[in-house]
């Protein structure tokens, strides 16, 4: 590869020389040995359930990688023959791309675009980026470094709750959910028994489909570490493709002595073929986090403007939504940031998405229900709430109160944000407040960078100066004899600038300082 | 219509086959365990009652023993083959318990309650621990213990006066009660004769129903003369270990009744056993 780069540099020099000599590009040649060198640059990565109107196979998501390709070598390259793209999850599961190029072949120094489309199971496609590696090889030579990427979440797709690192087998694996006892099951009732019903989920960690009946999958409720009660498994599928999941239920007809046993007398044993393990088992269902099933935050809490019902029964990607319309926020970026914070605090996984080219926030609750916020929808804002979800007005202040209540701060102690500030050292750059700096008045204000000049750890103080000049104002609006005490610059700083650059919370973190206003100070 | 039902049935079977991957409910011993527990049978309170399901039976009571069962094994235990109880009286008489329980099979780790029910003759209900034992068998494990029935709950136990130790033979036994001198009998009078009516009890020591056809009772005088009498019974057959009564009527010369005290007796024969009983005459008190 090093050689290729050197050649590329020479080529550039050559190109300059050729241009200087007035020769045409069509006649561009290179001397020396033939070298293949394609520079592939990923420009974007998207994930989607449907592609060109076609839905992805069950439990699968398309990962679409757009790349810029430039032939830095000395020979014409047939892209379909030369380039191979793979997406690898967990270093184990390798997926090949189907590829479309704008040009089938690229000559020396010619560039084109390629679209690499991978079809991955949901668990891989929606995995954290660090678990995925995108790599290209050209004529069998891998690129130096696998490319890791980030991509938006896919609305409506909830990643199966399995962790590769926590798997029990390299084939079929099973997870147990919250168990429940029933006095009757399928019309059967017996005073000597209760039925323990446990929802189960299965995943095939293998690389080939499995037929469940052949996996000798057994779940056994153990009692006193001595007895085993075989569970009856009813599953929704007969076969499972690699990394695909299925759900079902395990039912144990438990004698009363077992059903009324102390929890520490019970356990669970799972076996698949020769492998056997004891998953964590608790009769007491783990209480869901308080925020797990909270309602969708109503934008009204942030904008102060009530929404109106736009329509009900709106179907998008197979989900049915109720649509509410709001006035667009004045400061869209601030709204998005605050709303994201609110929704996250309510237990939603929030991500930026684009739907029909419109930017939106996707909110996915832990139970899979979703909401979408089109914060810039033709001058308005839309909130789409999937049926089954509620929305509730919750202001940012309430969210702050919730977080303070959850992490109480003793009186006199600095708030968490301030503590973070005081951990800085002299010379650090600290971002604090927002102010218009790029002259693009149609976009939101930019964060203000501050240079730390002095830190007084004992008194929890820091002296800052803005890294960049933020504005230009006269010392005083009129040419009179005036001191700092009454000058208009001071007035502007303490009013307009303070209120524009800092939120109410941020203003509380700014200390009041005694100033010498004597004439000697100017 | 029939065809429709068949199709539905097939569909139901297919649907079940599609989703069911394992049979369940079976209790097994975990692989690293060598042996399961045992089948436990524990007896609790007991009561003695003169009736069962509203019915009564002469000279019998029902003994009820509360029973708790717990199957710590990993096999189904059919109750009838797993639990049995026998009360043995005098080492000879055995009374098998009837087992009353809602479950006919006790599955692994299942507990159940029920009762052992014995139908006992009164004489056994009165027995003490020295003569009565309870043998309880639970899944092959046998326990033998002395036993005594609780106090009777209603119903009077007939005190027949027979004792096993003093019995005469292993079948019918006779115990004279009273000998009454009668001046006449059913209107017949004869100044040279008198009538002696002997009332007696009969007991069946055998283990089957007993009809007292082999009982002979001869009135003896001075241990030299014997008089055959007419014997009547107030029963046809006797259940094992139960008691009946009868009367024997003798027409005897006047000299016999005027004889010395102790000159009268009874020679009783039952089966191959023969024995003598002394009697004392009492005057007829009239009706």
Which ipTM did the prediction report? 0.72
| Burial of residue A206 (number of CB atoms within 10 Å: 0-12, 13-18, 19+) | middle
Interval B235-279: pLDDT, tens: 999 999 999 999 999 999 999 988 777 889 999 998 888 999 988
Q: How close is the nearest chain B Cα to the Cα of A222, in Å?
A: 8
- Residue that is written with structure tokens 């055995």 in the block: B94
Q: Minimum mean pLDDT among A5-19, A246-260, A467-481, B174-188: which range?
A: A5-19
Q: Is B236 helix (H, G, I), strand (E, B) or coil?
A: coil
Contacting B residues, span 25-64, partner chain A, CB-CB under 8 Å:
25-30, 33, 36-37
Contact A227 B28 (CB under 8 A): yes
Q: What is the pLDDT of residue A133?
A: 85
Q: How close is the nearest chain B Cα to the Cα of A56, in Å?
A: 25
Interval A17-68: pLDDT, tens: 333 333 334 445 555 667 778 888 888 888 888 888 888 898 999 999 899 9
Report strand pairing: A60-71 vs A111-121: antiparallel
Nearest to A500 by CA among A378, A320, A372, A330: A330
Nearest to B174 by CA among B69, B92, B99, B244: B244
H/E run at residue B79: helix B79-82
**Residues 6+ positions from A19 with CB-CB distance below 8 Å:** none
Tell whether A227 is within 8 A of chain B (Cβ).
yes
Q: Is the pLDDT score of A12 beyond 50? A: no
Instruction: Tell me if B93 sits within 8 A of B240, measured CB to CB.
Output: yes
Contact B110 A225 (CB under 8 A): no
Q: How close is the nearest chain B Cα to the Cα of A192, in Å?
A: 6
Tell me which chain B residues have a C-beta less than 8 angstroms from the C-beta of A234: 19-21
Tell me which chain A residues have a C-beta less than 8 angstroms from the C-beta of B110: 192-193, 255-257
C-alpha distances in Å from residue A484, one per residue of A46, A410, A476, A492, A518: 56, 38, 9, 12, 8
Output DSSP code: residue A495: I
Q: Please state, rounded to an integer, the average pLDDT across all residues of chain B.
A: 86
Instruction: Tell me if A506 sits within 8 A of A421, measured CB to CB.
Output: no
Alpha-carbon A282 to chain mean position = 31
Tell me which chain A residues have a C-beta less than 8 angstroms from the C-beta of B112: 192
Contact B25 A218 (CB under 8 A): no
Taken in order A251, A254, A260, A264, the sign of the CA dihedral is negative
Supply φ then ψ for residue A98, to 5 degrees. Answer: -95, 140
CA distance A256 to A360: 53
H/E run at residue A47: strand A38-48
Q: How close is the nearest chain B Cα to the Cα of A282, in Å?
A: 19
User: Bigger pLDDT: A34 or B153?
Assistant: A34
Q: What is the pLDDT of residue B13?
A: 32
Instruction: Tell me if A475 sits within 8 A of A487, measured CB to CB.
Output: yes
Provide the β-strand partners of residue B60: B121
Tell whether A213 is within 8 A of chain B (Cβ).
yes
Smallest Cβ–Cβ distance between B29 and the set A227, A236, A252 belongs to A227
User: Bigger pLDDT: A16 or A474?
Assistant: A474
Instruction: Tell me if A380 sits within 8 A of A327, measured CB to CB.
Output: yes
CA distance A64 to A120: 11
Q: How close is the nearest chain A Cα to the Cα of B96, in Å?
A: 27
Contact A232 B24 (CB under 8 A): yes
Instruction: Tell me if B219 sits within 8 A of B250, measured CB to CB.
Output: yes
Instruction: Tell me if B112 sits within 8 A of B106, measured CB to CB.
Output: yes
Tell me which chain B residues have a C-beta less than 8 angstroms from the C-beta of A226: 29-30, 33, 36-37
Nearest-by-CA chain B residue for A225: B30
Instruction: Tell me if B266 sits within 8 A of B217, measured CB to CB.
Output: yes
Interval A143-167: pLDDT, tens: 766 566 666 677 777 788 888 888 8
Interval B95-152: pLDDT, tens: 999 999 999 999 999 999 999 999 999 999 989 899 999 999 999 999 999 999 987 7
H/E run at residue B4: helix B2-19
Q: What is the mean pLDDT of residues A204-221?
A: 91
C-alpha distances in Å from residue B271, one per residue of A318, B19, B170, B235: 98, 75, 9, 19
Smallest Cβ–Cβ distance between A234 and the set B20, B103, B107 belongs to B20
Report strand pairing: B281-283 vs B172-182: parallel
Q: What is the pLDDT of residue A51?
A: 87
Nearest to A220 by CA among A173, A175, A270: A270
Tell whether B9 is within 8 A of chain A (Cβ).
no
Helices A396-406 and A332-345 sit at what angle, rounded to 10 degrees? Answer: 40
Interval B86-103: pLDDT, tens: 999 999 899 999 999 999
CA distance A355 to A377: 11
The model scores a pTM over 0.90: no
C-alpha distances in Å from residue A286, one per residue of A283, A344, A406: 9, 21, 20
Q: How close is the nearest chain A Cα to the Cα of B107, in Å?
A: 8
């Amino acid at each position: 590869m090093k050689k290729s780069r050197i050649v590329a540099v020479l080529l550039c020099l050559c190109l300059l020389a050729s241009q200087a000599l007035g020769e045409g590009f069509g006649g561009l040649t290179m001397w020396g040995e033939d070298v293949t060198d394609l520079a592939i640059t990923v420009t974007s990565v998207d994930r989607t359930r449907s592609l060109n109107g076609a839905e992805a196979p069950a439990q699968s998501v398309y990962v679409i990688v757009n790349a810029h390709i430039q032939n830095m070598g000395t020979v014409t390259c047939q892209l379909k023959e030369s380039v191979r793209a793979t997406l690898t999850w967990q270093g184990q599961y390798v997926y090949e791309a189907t590829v479309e190029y704008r040009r089938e072949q690229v000559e020396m120094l010619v560039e084109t675009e390629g679209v690499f489309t991978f079809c991955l199971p949901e668990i891989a496609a929606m995995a954290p980026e660090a678990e995925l590696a995108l790599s290209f090889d050209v004529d069998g030579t891998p690129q130096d470094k696998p490319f890791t990427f980030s991509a938006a979440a896919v609305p409506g797709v909830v990643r199966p709750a399995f962790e590769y690192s926590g798997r029990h087998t390299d084939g079929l694996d099973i997870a147990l959910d919250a168990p429940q006892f029933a006095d009757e099951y399928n019309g059967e009732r017996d005073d000597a028994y209760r039925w323990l019903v446990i929802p189960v989920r299965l995943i095939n960690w293998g690389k080939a489909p499995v037929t469940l009946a052949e996996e000798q999958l057994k779940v056994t409720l153990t009692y006193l570490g001595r007895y085993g009660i075989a569970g009856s498994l009813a599953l929704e599928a007969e076969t499972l493709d690699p990394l695909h999941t299925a759900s079902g239920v395990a039912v144990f007809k438990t004698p009363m002595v077992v059903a009324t046993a102390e929890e520490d007398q019970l356990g669970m044993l799972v076996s698949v073929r020769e492998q056997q393990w004891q998953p964590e088992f608790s009769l007491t269902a783990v209480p869901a986090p308080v925020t797990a099933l909270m309602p969708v935050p109503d934008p009204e809490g942030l904008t102060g403007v009530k929404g109106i019902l736009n329509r009900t029964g709106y179907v998008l990607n197979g989900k049915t939504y109720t649509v509410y319309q709001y006035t667009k926020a004045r400061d869209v970026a601030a709204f998005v940031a605050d709303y994201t914070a609110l929704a996250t605090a309510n237990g939603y996984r929030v991500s930026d998405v684009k739907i029909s080219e419109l930017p939106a926030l996707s909110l996915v609750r832990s139970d899979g229900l979703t909401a979408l916020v089109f914060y810039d929808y033709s001058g308005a804002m839309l909130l789409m709430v999937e049926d089954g979800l509620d929305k509730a007005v919750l202001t940012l202040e309430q969210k702050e109160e919730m977080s303070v209540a959850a992490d109480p701060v003793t009186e006199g102690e600095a708030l968490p944000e301030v503590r973070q500030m005081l951990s800085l050292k002299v010379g650090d750059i600290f971002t604090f407040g927002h102010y218009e700096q790029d002259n693009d008045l149609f976009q939101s204000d930019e964060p203000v960078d501050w240079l730390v000049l002095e830190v007084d750890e004992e008194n929890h103080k820091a002296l800052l100066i803005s890294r960049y000049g933020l504005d230009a104002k006269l010392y005083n609006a009129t040419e009179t004899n005036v001191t700092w005490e009454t000058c208009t610059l001071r007035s502007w700083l303490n009013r307009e600038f303070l209120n524009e650059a800092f939120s109410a919370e941020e203003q509380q973190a700014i200390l009041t300082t005694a100033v010498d206003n004597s004439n000697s100070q100017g | 219509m029939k065809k429709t039902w068949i199709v539905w049935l097939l569909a139901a079977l297919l649907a079940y086959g599609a989703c069911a991957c394992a049979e369940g409910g079976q209790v097994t011993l975990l692989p690293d365990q060598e042996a399961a527990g045992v089948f436990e049978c524990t007896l609790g309170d007991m009561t003695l009652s003169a009736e069962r399901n509203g019915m009564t039976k002469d000279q019998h009571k029902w003994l009820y023993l509360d029973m708790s069962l717990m199957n710590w094994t990993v096999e189904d235990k059919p109750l009838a083959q797993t639990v049995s109880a026998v009360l043995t009286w005098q080492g000879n008489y055995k009374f098998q318990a009837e087992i009353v329980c809602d479950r006919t099979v006790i599955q692994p780790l299942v507990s159940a309650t029920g009762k052992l029910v014995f139908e006992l003759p009164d004489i056994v209900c009165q027995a003490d621990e020295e003569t009565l034992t309870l043998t309880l068998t639970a899944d092959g494990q046998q326990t033998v213990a002395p036993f005594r029935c609780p106090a009777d709950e209603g119903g009077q136990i007939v005190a027949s006066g027979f004792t096993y130790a003093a019995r005469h033979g292993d079948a019918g036994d006779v115990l004279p009660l009273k000998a009454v001198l009668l001046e006449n009998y059913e209107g017949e009078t004869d100044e040279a004769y008198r009538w002696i009516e002997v009332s007696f009890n009969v007991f069946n020591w055998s283990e089957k129903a007993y009809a007292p056809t082999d009982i002979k009772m001869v009135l003896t005088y001075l241990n030299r003369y014997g008089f055959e009498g007419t014997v009547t019974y107030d029963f046809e057959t006797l259940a094992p270990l139960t008691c009946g009564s009868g009367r024997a009527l003798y027409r005897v010369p006047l000299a016999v009744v005027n004889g010395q005290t102790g000159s009268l007796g009874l020679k009783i024969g039952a089966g191959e056993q023969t024995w003598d009983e002394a009697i004392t005459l009492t005057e007829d008190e009239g009706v």
